[in-house]
Structure 1
Amino acid sequence: MKKSLRTLHEHTALPGKNIWYEDWKQGLAKYDTVIIFDGIRGGDVVEYIHEHNPKARIIIYYVNKFRRSARNNPQNFKALPCELWSFDQGDCAREGMKHNVFCYDHVFLDARNKEAFEASRLSKVTAYDAFFIGVDKSRLDRLLALQQLLCQQNYTTKFILRKAARGSYANLSPQAKEILVDQDIVYSEIINYISQSKCIVELQDPGQSGLTLRAMEALFFRKKLLTDNPEIRNCEFYRQENIFIWGQDEERRLADFLHTPYQEVPAEVSLRYTWEAWLDRFFAGAM
């Protein structure tokens, strides 16, 4: 009931939305900078923070693509006292936002994930040539096509695609049924799959150009990456031996790609994609 009332209130012009804010609203005056992720539903949060701390720097950071019809459309915040930043360079160019590549925080900020990460570094088990996990954002057909390509060359795959909330899944093929799931998988289990795989697969959302979590995992787990993102060639960690760009690289190179050793990336490069480096870039200029 409480959740329904909150949702109803969010979608009206009625004042007083701060009654739903949690403990973060306490002690706002002591902060110099407030960073809000793109799950924000409306400008009332920005207005509330500014009212209680007019000197605070307010940053809205987009870690996902947005829909024009969504309430977090950057255009809805342009007149408010806040800065707009995004992980996606294309969105930055189109919307006049500032760019800051996202970081890999899933291990370092969670004790259970960190434990699984450390265990994965000791594991020598390889069960899969290619591993993918993600949400079905127009990915099913592409994923099935990639699975067919890999299986034809006798590579083993572990593909997990969570159904979209409003997706239609009638008349599915046996292959589609095998990879589709209804529920999320805890990240510590995802780490186990990564540790048992030679290569991580990345399929981007249509129109996306920013680095995704999959690319970060490949970097920090020292795994190869099979991606459909051609822009990754411009990244400082790009190595032809480590990254195969599906749709651009010749398919006959897959064998060499999957069977040759991973080429180490200097530690100073990986460090630029940590939580601390991401935070520093807000104060020292975007990457």
Structure 2
Amino acid sequence: MSSGRMRYAPTSKLFIYSMSTLYVVSPPLEIFEGLKPELRQRIVTLPDFLRYPAGRIKGITRSLLAGRVALPRRILYYWFPKAYFDCLVQARPGDAILIYEACNVRVLRAIRPYLPERVPCYIYYCNPVGTTFRRPAEELQAIRALGYRLTSFDPCEAERYGMACTGQYFRYPEHQPDNIDSDCFFCGLPKDRAGTLQRLRTRLEAEGLTCDFVIPRTPAEKLTYPQYLDRLARTRCVIDISQKGQTGLTRRPLEALFYGKKLLTDNPEIARYDFYRPQNVFILGKDPEEQLRAFIESPLAEVPETVRAAYDVNEWIRHYLP
């Protein structure tokens, strides 16, 4: 525990220290729980309070006014909860701000005058920007012009749009079950890959492999992230099918790496990564499909702990820590 004083912000689980602090908006909390105590005490996590507000009047007024004219802070409190917004506003020189997936240019313009000038404000895009923006180049440039520092998980998109690449990350599991319930596991929205997933499942089952596919089409069918990780921990092989145009890592390859699972992926760029081992990673379209079953049933190749540790959240967060 730092010797700096700690106080609790009202109506939220916020910890504010007198030492330099990183304020993070909308992080994956289950992964951030893997932060070491000495790093966790320097980080304040905030919910996604910049998202479209609940309530018809709030939504209409924000759409009409936010980012179009300069607005006093009391108006912004109507759309953005005061307790959370003030955490960013009250950041001090030496602190930093990190916002996940911020895509509304006018919202970012509305809050920018209230963010301290000497506090760097980063935005991290952990999904392809083509799925986040209608006009990625134009909108990213507008956000950059406001003074935000743009970062991405995808090295190709980072180069294309002039962002820093901070990569993908995960955390060490707290525990793993002993039993295995399936040979292959996939969980994700269908997006533009439903046909690919169905053909792959048919191919795997033809090999006599058991498949656990969760492709939710309604909110009731979705798994929580702990439920997802429990299913992943009980499989032999994790399936990773990227969205169209994506070259950066999804989180699935790192989940497989940290949980000690085989990986079946359609991303050929994975062969460039230091954790790649052909005994552990099967690349669809490159490796012979008649060897699928033999691949899944064969033992894993060892990956040095130093390689795995480089993808841990404790290393990744250092890109943003002040």
TM bucket normalised to smaller:
0.7 to 0.9
Change (3 A) 1:268 1:211: same
Deviations 1:252-277 (A, max 9, x none): 22132111111221111111112221
Q: TM-score, normalised by structure 2?
A: 0.72
Give the secondary-structure state (helix, strand or coil) at the position aligned to 1:189: helix
Change (3 A) 1:270 1:6: farther
Give the secondary-structure state (helix, strand or coil) at the position aligned to 1:273: coil
The answer to whether 1:3 aligns with 2:55 is yes
**Is the 1:58–1:82 contact (alpha carbons within 8 Å) kept by the matching residues of 2?**
yes
* 1:158 equivalent in structure 2: 212
The answer to whether 1:118 aligns with 2:177 is no
**Is the 2:166–2:316 contact (alpha carbons within 8 Å) kept by the matching residues of 1?**
yes
Deviations 1:25-46 (A, max 9, x none): 2242326211111144234436
**Is the 2:96–2:320 contact (alpha carbons within 8 Å) kept by the matching residues of 1?**
no
1:264-279 to 2 correspondences below 5 Å: 264-279=302-317
Partners of 2:56 and 2:309 in 1: CA distance? 42
The answer to whether 1:100 aligns with 2:100 is no
Give the secondary-structure state (helix, strand or coil) at the position aligned to 2:310: helix
Aligned length: 256
1:26-175 to 2 correspondences below 5 Å: 26-27=86-87, 28-30=90-92, 32-45=95-108, 48-67=111-130, 68-69=133-134, 73-105=139-171, 117-120=173-176, 123-163=177-217
Alpha-carbon RMSD across the aligned residues, in angstroms, is 2.5
**Is the 2:184–2:236 contact (alpha carbons within 8 Å) kept by the matching residues of 1?**
yes
The answer to whether 1:21 aligns with 2:80 is yes
Change (3 A) 1:240 1:2: closer
**Is the 1:46–1:81 contact (alpha carbons within 8 Å) kept by the matching residues of 2?**
no
Q: TM-score, normalised by structure 1?
A: 0.81
* 2:42 equivalent in structure 1: none
Deviation at 1:283, TM superposition (A): 6.5
**Is the 2:265–2:284 contact (alpha carbons within 8 Å) kept by the matching residues of 1?**
yes
Partners of 1:37 and 1:9 in 2: CA distance? 24
Partners of 2:125 and 2:233 in 1: CA distance? 29
Change (3 A) 1:232 1:129: same
Partners of 1:88 and 1:52 in 2: CA distance? 27
Give the secondary-structure state (helix, strand or coil) at the position aligned to 2:215: strand
Deviations 1:165-201 (A, max 9, x none): 8xxxxxxxxxxxxxxx853211222122112210000
Partners of 2:319 and 2:115 in 1: CA distance? 26
Deviation at 1:214, TM superposition (A): 0.9
